Structure formats: structure tokens, C-alpha cells
Structure 1
Amino acid sequence: MPQTFHHNDEPRAEEGQRGYTPYLYIPYNGTDTGNRPLGPNIKFWGSPHIAVSHTDQYGNVVPGQPITITARVFNGGLKPALPFITVQFFVFNSSLAFTTANSLFTATIQPTKQIPSKGYIEVSSPTPWIPEPVENGHPCIVVQCSTPEEGTDSLKFPFFAALDRHVAQRNMTVANPVAGQKLILHAGNPFHQSLPCTLRVSSLLIHGKFEELRRTDVGTLMTLLANVQPGAPGNLLEQRLEVRTKDISGEGLDVRLEQIEHQDVPGDQGEVITLDRYLQQRMQSDPNFDPQSLGKVLGEFVLEPRTANNLLIAVAPTDLGGADYIVHHFTQVVENCPIGGYTLVVPPMNF
């Protein structure tokens, strides 16, 4: 069975209704109703509406075990979405910005059920994904949906979850709190021009009444932590758990970019949007965006077309002496605008 979805995280679909056609979307968090593009400070890559089966004690997938990927596809329109829907499932190497060349798994299904107005259906991949043991890496999942009933308002920007409500990502893993973590993140170039990139990291300290949720559904807990934003709790589940956050990005945590390895990217990357258009659409949602909110700079590098860098990131064990969690958000930034990200959740030592 897939990892449990927590019903308190469901968006209220009536807020996203858009007229007398279907309005499909896969939420990036518990309150998303499909508005795009997203502001450049929004961590859109930890969707709680993508679930996987067979996770370990930390909520990570288990190498060698057949994995079923399940996603919730919502309809915020006044008209039911008939069974003309296509749902695509992709698995990538652990990535910041995606290119189609590094896809590890692809599956497509057309569900036989319609999606009611202001409702959703759960759709599972028709074939299982079997993760291979990957040293220091955890794959990323992308799910996207489309239907001809939406006409020109259907899927326009494949793999660009920040621009297209039909696309959702799950780019996250959980560290061993005792051993620490080494991540190899794939920094891709989805555009056909040179990209001077910056890798940034922001870190949150998160406290709450997580004991019950940790015992019953560790996967839901880790997904919740990956989606917590600084400030007041953002949904009913966070409020019930009395979640509190503190930005600790500047407190000298031992997070390092240890190595950059260059590689060529074979094949057609399938560009569907220019960099200028991407930046314009992201920034129009928040013209006063401050890139410093993405945290401190870990490193800088340049990506030419059809190239990528593998970034080796080391996160030392951190003993805070309590029951608090640390969440690190890594972001690939181009011209002060994010083009991709990855989240690492670090449990307390007594997890």
C-alpha cells in the first residue's frame, strides 16, 4: 500500500474553481489550489500529494523493493473531468533543476474514473519502480497530469512545477541523525544557453508535538516537515501539532559543498521555455523578492548547454540535545531566481 496521505493536508478544492471546464492540478503543499506561477521564495518541490510504498524507518524508499508511486489529482473546476486524463510518473537522479536526459523511470496511465468537481482521485503508477542502491543519493519523483478537456489551459510546461499546476515534485530525503548525510545533487541546465548558477542553503529548526505522528506514519511526518514555512502554522495539522520554527541558516551549521563534478548530458533535453521567459514568469509573482531569503551561498558554477554538475554536499551530524528537527533547503539559483531545489530533513539524535 502507498504511504498514507493525511487528510488534514487536503486543499479545499472549491477555492480553486475556475469555470465550466475541468481545472486539474496537483498541489505543491496542503493549501495550494493551483494558482501559477509561484513566487520565487516558495519551496514547491516537496508535494505531500505524492506518496510511495515501502519506506524505511525514516520515510525513504527502500532499494530493491518494488515501489508504487501514488498521486492525488485535483479538479478545481465546476465541470467533472471525464476519463480522458493522462497521468505521467517520472523518477530522476537526485536533482535540483531537471533535464529529461537523467530520467530513471517513466510510466503513464489514463485513469478510468472521472474527477468530480471540487474533488480529486488517487492515481497509481501502472508499473512499479524498483530503486537501485545509489551511494549518497536519493531519487526525485515528478508527476504531471493533462486532459484535452482543458484546451489551451492544459499542461504547458512539463517538469516546471513552479510554472504549471499540472506538475508536482517530491525532492526530499531524510538523514541518518547519527551518521550525518552526504548528498550528490544533480544540477541540470534545462535551457539552451550558458547558466551561471549559485547553490544556496537555508535551514530551519522545527519543534512540535510529533510523537504520535512519528509512531503512526513517519512518511507523513517527514513530508510535513519538508513543507513547513517560517512563521505561523500554515495548515490544520501544523496547528494541532503546535509547530514552531526558527531560521538557523546563519548559525554555523556544518553544511559544505565538497566537490563539483562536471558531466555532459546526452539526448534532447526537451526545452519548452526560454530562460528569459522562465525568469519573467517567476518574478512577476514577487517583484520584490530578496534572494538572501534562500540562505547562504555554498558554491558557484557555470553550466553550458547540455551539461550538468554533480554536487557532493556533506552535512555533519548535529546534536541539539532535544527533540527538534532541522530542515535544509538546497536551491539552484540563476540570476537571483530559483530554478530547482531539494530538501533534507535531519531528525533528532534520539529518533
Structure 2
Amino acid sequence: MHEGEEEPGEPTGGTGPRLVVGYTYSDTGARPLAANTVFYASPMIEVSTADPQTGVIPVDVPASVSVIVQNLSNGPALGTTATFWFARPSIGALVDITQIGTTMATSIPPGGADLLTCTTEWTPSADFGAHQCLLVQGECLNDTLLTTPPGLVFRPDLDRHVGQRNLTITAHGQPMLITVSNPFDHEDLAILRHSGWRLTGVTPELCETLGIHPADLATHALEPRVQRMLRRYEVGLSHEVESRIELSDTGNEGRADTIDPDTADLLNQRPGEPTGEPLAEFALPDATFREVSLTISSANLGPDDLEVHEFVQTVGNIEVGGYVAVGIAGPR
């Protein structure tokens, strides 16, 4: 979701449970989301070892992973659990998905929410460049909708039960490995697009007052409700970024899971158009991915400034995914 757009307004309520793993703070569970929504940086997914200011997650350190699951209905969600996975960092469809574990079951009252913690710890490794993608699926015994219908697996933009977090902090121009993919059954052109914005005046005191990590605040800064809050606290927002972006092909490639025709139709029918300036193009065979190295070097950032870089990938006319990187001046 970007400036000037209204948030989905599907009504809540009903007698059965309505589980939602929010893609943002004000998610009502309305799906599908617009084509240019940042659905892949859910602030509801937490990692215990994340730096409270920057969100940086150290590698080779065991961490507990948790998620806030909401029940936006008038009925209880009985036996609610969440399952966690991690995957190779991707701008397109996800690849190399590995299950971490699940949570203990709990019941969430009507209109309530609960923090569910995985019973298995996760140890991030540097195998994929230390920029991991976390996935969560929530479900309960009496949900009135099928949890993750066939073809909607790991699509938070289509399924309110699923959350994704692949937020990355790039403070010192460090390269990160990400994948560009073609998840369809035909050869096509994958286009990588870039958008950027900068926040000024994001002090640690402000984030403590709001109860929001700086990286989460910056990532969702273009959403209408967040923008109103930023204006209230006199946080500056500009689309002028001073950064150098370097992209190189590592030569690594492999097979990717395909998206079924029904899901492809749903993605194609979403409102909105892909945003951002074209950055690179890749001609990819069907059901393949290509690994690229991405380096962002931010310039002229003050101690209370944050710079956001959003990368969105399209295949044909369909937006299939994205990635967000947040640049900071240094240790906060």
C-alpha cells in the first residue's frame, strides 16, 4: 500500500472465528491485497534475538520466533496454533522453504489477539547470506474458511492466515543474496523495480513512545494511518533518496515451485499497479529462479534518519513478490 490509497475495509464480525496474521498494524483481514502492498514485512512476526532498534538478527544464535494472531470476529477461535518456516530471501516466489516448528494450541476470544511462540528454536545461518525470510500460518479448529486453500500456500496477499517477514537492515553497504524467480509454467521476463523513501526525526524516544521498532515504522510509512501518525509527531517523509544500488548476477540458479492457474488469475485480478522504476530485467525459463547480489550504500543519513528501499518483482503483468531493505546511519 502506498500514499493516497485507502486501506482494505472488509467488515469484521460474524459468529465464527476470523484469524488474521496481519501484514501491518491495521490489517482487517480483507483479501486480496492491492498489487503494490508491502505484505512481506509483517510487524506481527517477532524474533527474540533481533536488535530492538535496528531489527538486525545475528546468525548462528538460537532464537525463539513468535507471531501475534488476531481473531477479528464475534466467536472464539478454538485450538489456535501457528506454524513457522524460513525460506531463501526472494523478490519473487519463495524457494527452499523449510519448516521450523509449531506452537502450543490456545483459544483466542472474540476480538482478541495472542502472542504464539514456536516450541522449536530457530538458528539463522549464513547459507543464504544471513537475510532470511520468515513465514507463519495460523489456524484453528473451527475457522469457517479453509486455512491456506490449495494454491494459496505462503501468499499473505491472498490468504489472511499467512504472514511473511523478510525485512532487512543494510547499514554499511553489505551485499545480500536474493532470488528473482519465474513461478509460472512458461518462459517470461522478470522485471525488478525499485522505490525509495526517507524518514527524518525518528528518534529512539519516539519509537519507545509508540511501541514500534524503527525499521517497522519506516517500512510501513506510506500507509495512510502511519502517515497521519508521522505528521502528528513531525517526522519528515521524502521520496528523495541518496543511495547507490549495485546489482550483480551470481550465476546460481535452480528450480522453483510453480503457481497454479487459479492463483495466477487471482494475482492478476488484484487492484492496483506495480510501482517503482525498472531496475533490471531477467529472461527466465519456466519454474526457475536466479540468485543475484544486491548492495545498497546509503549516503548523508543523520543519526535519526531511516532510508527505505522497496524492490518489487513482476512477471508479465503480475506482481509476484517484493523485498524491503532499511538503511541506517550506524548503531542507534
Q: Answer yes or no: same fold by TM over 0.5.
A: yes
- CA distance in structure 2 between the aligned counterparts of 1:117 and 1:218, rounded to whole angstroms: 24
- CA distance in structure 1 between the aligned counterparts of 2:208 and 2:28, rounded to whole angstroms: 30
Which residue does the alignment assign to 1:242?
A: 234
321 and 24 in structure 1: CA distance in 2 versus 1, 3 angstrom threshold? closer
Aligned partners of 2:86 and 2:133 also within 8 Å: yes
Q: CA offset at residue 154 of structure 1?
A: 3.2
Q: CA offset at residue 223 of structure 1?
A: 1.5
TM score, norm. by length of structure 1? 0.81
- CA distance in structure 2 between the aligned counterparts of 1:342 and 1:334, rounded to whole angstroms: 15
1:67 aligns with 2:59: no
241 and 211 in structure 1: CA distance in 2 versus 1, 3 angstrom threshold? farther
Q: CA offset at residue 242 of structure 1?
A: 3.0
Which residue does the alignment assign to 2:290?
A: 309
1:53 aligns with 2:48: yes
Give the partner amino acid of 1:299. A
User: In proportion to residue count, which structure has more helix?
Assistant: 1
User: In proportion to residue count, which structure has more strand?
Assistant: 2
- CA distance in structure 1 between the aligned counterparts of 2:180 and 2:155, rounded to whole angstroms: 15
Which residue does the alignment assign to 1:11?
A: none
- CA distance in structure 2 between the aligned counterparts of 1:78 and 1:92, rounded to whole angstroms: 35
**328-337 or 41-50: bigger deviation:** 328-337
- CA distance in structure 1 between the aligned counterparts of 2:18 and 2:331, rounded to whole angstroms: 44
Which residue does the alignment assign to 1:279?
A: 267
Which residue does the alignment assign to 2:244?
A: 254
The percentage of counterpart residues that share the same residue type is: 28
23 and 218 in structure 1: CA distance in 2 versus 1, 3 angstrom threshold? closer
Matches within 5 A, 1:72-91: 72-83=68-79, 85-91=80-86
Aligned partners of 1:59 and 1:219 also within 8 Å: no
Q: CA offset at residue 112 of structure 1?
A: 2.9
Secondary structure of residue in 1 paired with 2:192 = strand
Question: Where does the alignment leave 5 or more consecutive residues of structure 2 unmatched?
Answer: 1-8
1:323 pairs with 304, 329, 332, which one? 304
Q: CA offset at residue 160 of structure 1?
A: 0.6
339 and 252 in structure 1: CA distance in 2 versus 1, 3 angstrom threshold? same
TM score, norm. by length of structure 2? 0.86
- CA distance in structure 2 between the aligned counterparts of 1:61 and 1:222, rounded to whole angstroms: 12
1:126 pairs with 103, 110, 119, which one? 119
Which residue does the alignment assign to 1:7?
A: none
Secondary structure of residue in 2 paired with 1:279 = helix
Aligned partners of 1:81 and 1:115 also within 8 Å: yes
Q: C-alpha deviations, 1:157-194, integer Å up to 9, x for none?
A: 11111111111111111112xx3131211223333333
Q: CA offset at residue 311 of structure 1?
A: 1.5
1:26 aligns with 2:21: yes
Which residue does the alignment assign to 2:3?
A: none
1:102 aligns with 2:102: no
- CA distance in structure 1 between the aligned counterparts of 2:210 and 2:55, rounded to whole angstroms: 9
RMSD (Å), alpha carbons: 2.8
241 and 67 in structure 1: CA distance in 2 versus 1, 3 angstrom threshold? farther
108 and 16 in structure 1: CA distance in 2 versus 1, 3 angstrom threshold? farther
- CA distance in structure 1 between the aligned counterparts of 2:105 and 2:179, rounded to whole angstroms: 36
Give the partner amino acid of 1:42. T
Aligned partners of 1:148 and 1:154 also within 8 Å: no
Secondary structure of residue in 2 paired with 1:181 = coil
Q: CA offset at residue 217 of structure 1?
A: 10
Aligned partners of 1:231 and 1:245 also within 8 Å: no
Q: CA offset at residue 272 of structure 1?
A: 4.9
